[in-house]
Amino acid sequence: MSTTISADTRASATSAGPRLRSGIVLATLLTCQLMIVLDITVMNVALPRIRTDLNFSATGLSWVMNAYTLVFGGLLLLGGRAGDLFGRRNMFIAGTTLFTLASLAGGLAPSATWLLIARVVQGIGAAMAGPNTLALLTTTFSEPKARMRVLALFSGMSSAGFAVGLIVGGLLTEWLGWRSALFINVPFGLAVAVLALRFLPEAQRQPARLDLPGAVTATTGVAALVYGFISAASNGWGNATTDTFLAVGAVLIATFLVIESRTAQPLLPLRLFADRNRAAAYANMFLGPMAGMSMFFFLTQYLQEVRGLSALATGFAFMPTALLMFTMIRLIPRLLPRFGPKPVTMTGTASMAAGLVLLTQLTVDSGYFPLLFVAMLLMGCGIGLAFSPLNVIIMSSVSPREAGAAGGALQTLQQTGAALGLAILVTIFGTASHSAGGSAQHALVSGITTAFGAAVGIAVLTFLVALTFRNPRPAD
């Protein structure tokens, strides 16, 4: 009897060990992803105070967001390919460490230039860690059901992190100041790096070559486009600087596509777009954030500068969005196999578009209830349903050999879409604000509602792309 009990105990301990290790690996990777995504929006509610403390201009303030998202998005492809070459575990740990150190430097920033440089370095660290986080998840959890579950969790961290970042940013800004929104990354980043060193398995390296011409043309091309749109907001569309940067950006992006079509080991393998559903998912991963990110950026300014809410109250105003996003994300592993990607993403994009339509009706006197509250609910439901299936669609059908490239392409389109979308909408906002009459608050609201109107158009385009999904037969 004692021998039997002892054997059972050893067997239980043996099976529990891998489960515990897998749980720690999953928690480590998801925590890193949440930290990276939080930094996209955690600064939003702090923007008015950052502008005051560091003397940013109204349009230049968007670079606090774009300096991070632009570099992050532009270097993600290179980060994924570098993981194949130097080891995904090594790149993950190095990227997390660099991101953590840059967060510390940003929190200590004495000037606007210092903060923007720190945000650029944060973006570099995030680009090293981000695609390798997704690739490590895909290769570590190879069983189909487990892979779908962890990809849904990853998508949840990626999507809901936008709203959670606003709540966390509001709490930190109100209680400890805007600098704490950067300092908070330090303990979490150190914990992720230590746990990764101890528990993260070493993934098999793939023979690869760094496509530096592709990386340079992609990053500088997107940067030139974004700067061109920001310049248009400040100087107008006929300005020589605006026209030059827009033209240079377009040429560089075209050059990047030519390079990728002729390179043996491209940063962005064009064969990833051969599958119809994957191509549509990539397109919506680019278009969706262009529309969705506008809500977080413009509503934080509306709530604080027009309605007079504190940073804390502004963060909690986004609670309905965060709760609905979490709820929808939890349902994705059940909804996607049953209904397929087409009805799920169509429902999500329609809900997001409806929320944006409501936001075009804002006035100086609009209260939180019912207009803003209903819009928040629609946006939370929409973002949760529209974007969460896209990670599963893209990553569940790629081979482990292409996991780094596929993950890098996914996150690149997401981040560059958000950066370009924000730049375009800030341009529209600036033009509408300058031409509006009345008080400063009326001009601000006029610019915000005009920007939301443009976001509606992008959301409609996202819906049209969702119509192209080939829907598989629902599971019984």
Q: For the whole model, what pTM was predicted? A: 0.81
pLDDT of residue 472: 58
pLDDT of residue 295: 81
Residue 8 lies in a domain: no
pLDDT of residue 8: 46
C-alpha–C-alpha distance, residues 247 and 342, integer Å: 36
Q: Which helix (H) or strand (E) holds 199?
A: helix 185-199
Average pLDDT over the chain reads 84
Cβ atoms 293, 348 nearer than 8 A? no
8-state DSSP, 370: I
pLDDT of residue 67: 85
Kindly state whether residues 202 and 55 are assigned to the same domain: yes
* Sign of the torsion formed by the C-alpha atoms of 284, 286, 290 and 295: positive
C-alpha–C-alpha distance, residues 166 and 334, integer Å: 28
State the burial class of residue 421 (Cβ atoms within 10 Å of its Cβ: 0-12, 13-18, 19+): buried
Kindly state whether residues 206 and 222 are assigned to the same domain: no
C-alpha–C-alpha distance, residues 455 and 290, integer Å: 7
Residue 19 lies in a domain: no
Number of compact structural domains in the chain? 2
| Domain that residue 249 falls in | 212-262
CA distances from residue 192 to 61, 151, 189, 227 in whole angstroms, order as listed: 30, 19, 5, 34
Domain C-terminal end among 222, 241, 262: 262
Residue 268 lies in a domain: yes
Residue 123 has pLDDT above 60, yes or no: yes
- The residue-averaged pLDDT of 187-204 equals 89
Residue 212 burial (CB count, 10 A): 11
Residue 99 lies in a domain: yes
Residue-wise pLDDT for 305-334, tens only, equals 899 988 788 888 888 988 888 888 778 878
Cβ atoms 156, 326 nearer than 8 A? yes
Residue 1 has pLDDT above 50, yes or no: no
Kindly state whether residues 229 and 207 are assigned to the same domain: no
Q: How confident is the model at residue 2 (pLDDT cuts 50, 70, 90)?
A: very low
Residue-wise pLDDT for 215-252, tens only, equals 889 878 877 887 787 677 667 677 888 889 989 999 99
Residue 149 has pLDDT above 90, yes or no: no
Kindly state whether residues 304 and 247 are assigned to the same domain: no
Residue-wise pLDDT for 431-443, tens only, equals 898 888 788 899 9
Domain C-terminal end among 224, 243, 262: 262
Could you give phi then psi for residue 72, rounded to 5 degrees?
A: -55, -55
Residue 19 has pLDDT above 60, yes or no: yes
Give the pair of three-digit tokens for residue 143. 């069983």
Kindly state whether residues 148 and 237 are assigned to the same domain: no
Kindly state whether residues 158 and 221 are assigned to the same domain: no
Cis geometry, peptide bond prior to residue 289 (ω within 30 degrees of 0): no
pLDDT of residue 443: 93
Phi-psi region of 438 (alpha: psi -120 to 50; beta: other; left: phi over 0): left
Q: How confident is the model at residue 5 (pLDDT cuts 50, 70, 90)?
A: very low
Residue-wise pLDDT for 441-469, tens only, equals 999 999 999 999 999 999 999 999 999 98
Residue 177 has pLDDT above 70, yes or no: yes
C-alpha–C-alpha distance, residues 444 and 404, integer Å: 42
Q: Residues of the chain with pLDDT > 70: what percent? A: 92
The amino acid sitting at 272 is: L
Kindly state whether residues 180 and 240 are assigned to the same domain: no
Kindly state whether residues 238 and 370 are assigned to the same domain: no
Helix (H, G, I), strand (E, B) or coil at 142: coil
Kindly state whether residues 205 and 216 are assigned to the same domain: no
